[in-house]
Amino acid sequence: MNSLAEPHPWEKLLWPLLASGLLLVAWYYSVRWTGTKIFPSPLQVEKGMVELFHKNVLWSDIGSSLRRVAIGFGAATVLGIPMGLTLGWYPALNQVVNPVMQILRPISPIAWIPVAIIFFGVGDNSATFLIFLGAFFPIVVACVNGVSNVPSVYRRAGRNFGLAPTQLLARVVFPAALPQIIVGLRLALGIAWLVVVAAEMVAVDSGLGYLVIDSRNSGKRYDLVVAAMLMIGVIGLALDLGFRRLETIKSIRWGFGNES
């Protein structure tokens, strides 16, 4: 078999499974050989996971986290896309706003926690606000870049067919920028999922982040800590995979260079 051949479907499944298996084995033996009493083994984590499922807290925690992400990310999308399109459309305006944005953008949402608490108190609104902040800037930046990267030949064609500026934005500039906007949204969703966990450790008493910190604080249940961590990873992956499906829609797929 040469190296250019497509791997068989079973190979595509086998190697990742083998790698995860090896990791579990390494984890198991590290716990055994070091004789640690604090860090749990894979089997303990598995029991912890079952316990969480049985206690029904898990579903409500997952629900709370997803709800916060949906609201924060949703608000960032609803405000960020029009703002990004506007800034991309009026470069002069972008020059005014851009410096402020470039300063705010690298500030981790975590650094905003004290400020969020002043504004919104300890509670849901603070957490949602932090998620919003984390998701908002990547969305705006993706839209600005998306709009300014629209090839001039498309805008010209649109103008040539007699489109008014708003029609040009809706029928040419937005669809032409959409692949880049989708990439920005996906990035923002990933950040939102990172931020929700951090926010829940500080500001609220529900959600997966709270589950992690609460499992540690109430009796050093590290089996539950790691179980919750794994749950966070699995849901994050599922969100990303779900979002990736958007990229296969035909009117968007052209922007993702992996076609003939």
Partner 1 sequence: MSPEEAVTMPTAGTKLRAEHLDMVFTRDGKSTPVLKDINLQVSVGEFICLVGPSGCGKSTLLNTMGGFLSPTSGTVSIDGEVVHGPDSRRIFVFQERGVFPWLTVEGNIGFGLFKLSRSEREQRLAHYVKMVGLQGFEEAYPSELSGGMKQRLEVARALAVDPDMLYMDEPFGALDSITRLTMRGELLRIWQAERKTIVFVTHDIDEAVQLADRVVVMSARPAVIQQIVNIDMPHPRDISSPRYLELRDGILQQIGLAHKI
Size of interface with partner 1, in residues (CB under 8 A) = 23
**Distance of alpha carbon 226 from alpha carbon 90, whole angstroms:** 48
For the CB of residue 114, give the shortest distance to partner 1 in the complex, in Å. 44
| Binding region for partner 1 (CB under 8 A) out of 5-13, 32-40, 149-157, 211-219 | 149-157
Segment (H or E) for 34: helix 9-34
Token duo for residue 105? 């953008």
For residue 205, the 8-state DSSP code is S
- Nearest residue to 149 via CA among 124, 117, 173, 120: 173
Note whether 45 binds partner 1 by CB under 8 A: no
Among 118, 162, 218, 241, binds partner 1 (CB under 8 A): 162
For the CB of residue 254, give the shortest distance to partner 1 in the complex, in Å. 4
For the CB of residue 146, give the shortest distance to partner 1 in the complex, in Å. 13
Residue 259 has phi, psi (to 5 degrees) of: -125, 170
Note whether 170 binds partner 1 by CB under 8 A: no
Among 143, 178, 181, 211, binds partner 1 (CB under 8 A): 178
Mapping DSSP to helix (H, G, I), strand (E, B) and coil, where does residue 221 land? Answer: coil
For the CB of residue 239, give the shortest distance to partner 1 in the complex, in Å. 25
Note whether 252 binds partner 1 by CB under 8 A: yes
User: How many residues does this entry show for the chain?
Assistant: 260
For the CB of residue 219, give the shortest distance to partner 1 in the complex, in Å. 55
| Binding region for partner 1 (CB under 8 A) out of 13-21, 96-104, 165-173, 192-200 | 165-173
Residue 9 or 257: the one with the smaller Cβ distance to partner 1 is 257
DSSP string, 76-103: HHHHHHHHHHHHHH-HHHHHHHHHHHHH
Rounded to a whole number of angstroms, the CA Rg of the chain reads 23
Note whether 251 binds partner 1 by CB under 8 A: yes
